[in-house]
Chain A
Amino acid sequence: MAKKLPSVDVVLVGFGWTGAILGQELTDAGLNVVAIERGGWRDTPTDFAVTFAQDELRYYYRHALFQDPLRETVTFRNSPDQTALPMRKLGSFLPGTGVGGAGIHWNGQTWRFLPSDFAARRHNTERYGAQAIPDTMTIQDWPVNYEELEQYYDRFEYLCGISGKAGNLNGQLVDGGNPFEGARRRDYPNPPMQMVYGPTLFGGAAKEMGYHPFPAPSANMSRAYTNPLGVTLAPCTYCGFCEKYGCGNYSKSSPQTTVIPVLLQKDNFELRTNSEVLRVNRDSSGQRATGVTYVDIQGHEYEQPAEIVILCAYILHNVHLLLVSGIGTPYDPRSGEGAVGRNYAYQIVSSVNAFFDDKVFNPYIGAGALGIAIDDFNGDNFDHAGKGFIGGGYLACWNTNGRPIENHPTPDNTPKWGSKWKSAVAKNYLRTASVSTHGAVMSHRNNYLDLDPTYRNAYGQPLLRMTFDYTDNEMKMSEFLTDRAADIARAMKPREVKVNARKGHYSIVPYQTTHNTGGTVMGDNPRNSVVNRYLQSWDVSNLFVMGAGAFPQNPGYNPTGTIGALTYWAADAIRSQYLKNPGPLVQA
């Protein structure tokens, strides 16, 4: 029997980026807020200090900072006619756990989506005709547009201290920035990072080909920065241990380095760690959340009543919580009805290695978002007529790491072991630059999340079941992007290139990106979405769902910038509208 705790105003489920921002915003509004986090407390000096943070085996290959499949994982299959099997160890994506969530081990690539990304269906239909969107492609327009989100993107970028170069200031194009970006009200809070050689070479080659290279927006500090909350981050030291690692030097924006030190001092905020929320509880009408039930590390169950419940966990867990709580209608791919779990999407990536004899790149001098990108082939920045796909992605040359277990590229036709492998690794390690592609994934009828009929988690609940594969649209798009990447790589004049194209079915095994999206998508009505434009549940109006689950489809950018913007947007709606008049903010 769960022990019932005293009621609070707001309970946050999960304490990463979205939980920390909402904690700050809603305590500022005078509310009593409790955050419940499944993992433990972690912080820079104790858990990834400079004296031991640069440990490739421990943090990446032994998963020190990630979700523990022993307790919670997903089952996976490529198509609805297969039997889904558990992801027994992590691979394709690396969800976080613990305070800070995946905001601890991200790279820091912090993008805004294009204005046209928010109108994916309308924009593409207008430009290319209705036949450009296949019947099985279930994309939809966002119920919020770029102009509405702009000030919230700005807030997140200034919270984090993003290093970058504006390309469009209030409609005026600025040399050296991304000319395709939506208009921004002011420049990034920090200048671009100092650039290393490989990306510089890439930028030169791209410019010569008529493209528009710019320094990628980075949550790795180009200089010391004090954010609007008064929290100071230190200059990045280019150590090359960013993604999959915590930053030992306070140089990467994370909840710990931007919000938490301020939030924890408030007497109307409390954090409970090592506590797994099992379900959202509702009253007998089913239309009002009464709180959550969680279990602590000793197995004791608690009921935490609250006036507002906000799901701030990773998207897979948010979808799981709705499904096991019986909130909303689970999506059924046969009928196309039901919204929970619908429009799950991901990212499609590829790369081209360029091997040189006469150049040295020192790949170990790196940072998570240290690179030069071009956006000429993202979204609808180029004419798709006759190409057979919509969407796109950015191309970039990064120096994110020279960590040798992970990064030891070898040319085509090199064996995977033996003396020839060894000499190829020794010859090319310092002399390889890589161009990567980062492509959009549209939503499709057969890509979705639901509950698995067979496998269960450590709490006896059904695992979340992921059904996903790339479709023709993504494969054609990725091939196109990869060809463009290879063109630029060749223009850098290497000895040879190796094209790592995306081939075959999506696999859960090799790491690709932790950019899972959809499943709790936002929309303009309850039939096509789980939440309205303010991330408020259509079914339960005192329940909000944060995160990339809201993306109706996944544009060709890393998601965190937009997750941050949506969080501030939703917080503003709760503060300025909901608190005055609790109830649905949009009428169904």
Chain B
Amino acid sequence: MPLVLNRRHLLSTGAAAGAAAALPYQRSEGHVISGEVPWAPGDANAPEFLQGDGYQFLTEAEVAFLNAAVARLIPADDLGPGAKEAGATFFIDRQLAGPYGQAAHWYMQGPWETGEKTQGYQSRMSPAELYRTAIKSIDDHCRKTLNSRAFAALSADEQDQTLSGLEKGEIKLTDVDAQTFFDLLLQNTVEGFFSDPLYGGNRDMVGWKLIGFPGARYDYRPYVGKHNQKLTFEPVGITGRPGWNPVKS
């Protein structure tokens, strides 16, 4: 069969393609792009801003657990505020209430097997379900073994020992793998300490100030050649920084 090399115009052909081409540009649907780079005013795929200041997912008991746990993972100390002060609990709440918490983008079809560690996360629980199940199970474990006290009521040393037992897999939880939960909790706590304040953690950019990260800056060209010099930048987030934005009336 010979190759047909006649120049043909595509845009006028085919009902489906023609109809799609006539539609205005929409990000969420399949469509035809031809003739120019698409652009429309106000079309920026900007991050979503947090609404409200109450908890959306966590229960009171879960808030108490997380406030206690994140305060041990990244404590307030001589160096400054810790994860609790940075708002890590609130950050985790909003993450669990959103698509991440629902594992909205993960492959969550069965069958389910434990597998090898090299095969990664194989729990059928979403992060939100994992937090809910694990926190209850850890509090049950603490009540059973530590004089009827929930995790939040333990001393700092007891909390550290409990967290360490989860980290090493020495504490066995009901219905959930302790290490899987600990790894997720630690990861999310670090995220809540170091992510842009836009997401409810890293309040007053305390995580960034601790280490000297200048934040969401965009141009360091004047500083590339300043070798071995400590630079002092006031950190800035995607939404600006306190004292910089206009005060809301």
A: residues with CB less than 8 A from B are 3, 5-9, 30-32, 34, 40-43, 45-47, 49-58, 61-63, 68-70, 73, 76-78, 82-89, 91, 194-197, 200, 235, 237-240, 248-249, 260-261, 264-265, 267-275, 288, 296-298, 300, 302, 307-308, 359-362, 364-365, 402, 404-405, 408, 416-419, 421-423, 425-426, 429-430, 454-456, 504-509, 542, 579, 582
B: residues with CB less than 8 A from A are 1-5, 7-11, 13-14, 16-17, 20, 25, 27-39, 43-47, 72-75, 77, 79, 82, 100, 103-109, 111, 113, 115-122, 160, 163, 167, 186, 189-191, 194-196, 198-199, 207-208, 210-221, 223-231, 238
Q: How far is the CB of B30 from chain A (nearest CB, A)?
A: 3
Q: How far is the CB of A422 from chain B (nearest CB, A)?
A: 6
A297 touches B28 (CB 8 A): yes
A sample of 25 cross-chain residue pairs with beta-carbon separation below 8 angstroms, ordered by A number, consists of A6-B17, A9-B4, A41-B27, A55-B196, A57-B196, A70-B108, A78-B116, A88-B103, A88-B108, A89-B121, A195-B224, A197-B227, A240-B220, A270-B17, A288-B1, A297-B28, A300-B16, A364-B214, A404-B208, A416-B167, A417-B74, A419-B77, A504-B118, A507-B120, A509-B120
B27 touches A40 (CB 8 A): yes
Q: Is the interface of B mostly helix, strand, loop or mixed?
A: loop
A274 touches B106 (CB 8 A): no
A55 touches B167 (CB 8 A): no
A47 to B14, CA, bound (A): 31
A55 touches B122 (CB 8 A): no
Give the top 3 A-B pairs by smallest Cβ distance, nearest first: A296-B30, A274-B30, A429-B211
A49 to B218, CA, bound (A): 11
Give every chain B residue within 8 A of A542 (Cβ-Cβ).
3
Q: Is the interface of A mostly helix, strand, loop or mixed?
A: loop
Q: How far is the CB of A110 from chain B (nearest CB, A)?
A: 20
A455 touches B31 (CB 8 A): no
A360 touches B228 (CB 8 A): yes
Among B104, B118, B189, contact of A505 (Cβ-Cβ < 8 Å): B118
A365 touches B223 (CB 8 A): yes
Q: A32-B8, A579-B3, A582-B2 are in contact. Are A5 and B106 (CB under 8 A)?
A: no
A362 touches B37 (CB 8 A): no
Give every chain B residue within 8 A of A506 (Cβ-Cβ).
118
- Cβ-Cβ contact count across A and B, 8 Å cutoff: 291
A404 to B193, CA, bound (A): 9
B199 touches A271 (CB 8 A): no
Give every chain A residue within 8 A of B46 (Cβ-Cβ).
49, 51-52
Among A45, A418, A430, contact of B230 (Cβ-Cβ < 8 Å): A430
A249 to B34, CA, bound (A): 24
Among A73, A194, A288, A507, contact of B225 (Cβ-Cβ < 8 Å): A194
Give every chain A residue within 8 A of B186 (Cβ-Cβ).
416-417
A265 to B216, CA, bound (A): 34
Give every chain A residue within 8 A of B30 (Cβ-Cβ).
272-275, 296-298
